Amino acid sequence: MNLVAHLNRRYRFAAAHRLHVDALTPARNRAIYGKCNNPFGHGHNYVAQVTLSGPVDAATGMVTNLGDLDAFAQREMLDLFDHANLNTLECFRDLVPTTENLCIELWRIFAQYPHAKLERIRVEETGNNAFDYFGDGARIQHEE
């Protein structure tokens, strides 16, 4: 019997963003987003924590091969997001790049990973802000 375990891997990228919604007035944007609305943008060292589940393979002892996961993360996430301005990316063309929306975008990316089931995306924007997304309609089942 192959038991199910959860594997957690953390990746880091540095990116700029500006929180601004074109449909709102400048005053309203400043009221909602405060200093995050600075027209020139600002940046963070983001941590993306990916949680995947699956049966532990009897031959390898693994939920998924980390080499495969790291290569996927590099190609599908880090190459796109690291040292980028999030507002310039296609996915945020019409969407404000809050960390909540970033979680959802990373969920879309890692949901395509073929070798394990995506359980959670956590994005830490700073050491004091972390956001979790469990997928559409999901809620916390196991967590603290």
Partner 1 sequence: MILLTRKADFSAAHFYWNDAWTEAENQRVFGKCANRQGHGHNYTLEVTVEGAVDPVSGFVVDLKQLKDIMEHEVVSVYDHRHLNHEVPEFAATVPTTENIAIAIWRRLDGKIPGAKLHRVRVYEMPDLFADFYGEGA
Please name the residue ranges forming H helices in the chain. 26-33, 66-73, 79-81, 99-110
Establish if 127 lies at the interface with partner 1 (CB under 8 A).
Answer: no
CB 64 within 8 A of CB 115: yes
Establish if 25 lies at the interface with partner 1 (CB under 8 A).
Answer: no
End-to-end CA distance of the chain: 28
Catalytic residue flag (residue 143): no
Establish if 137 lies at the interface with partner 1 (CB under 8 A).
Answer: no
Shortest distance, position 40 Cβ to partner 1, whole Å: 31
Catalytic residue flag (residue 36): yes
Q: Which residues bind partner 1 (CB under 8 A)?
A: 3-11, 51, 56, 59-63, 65-67, 142, 144
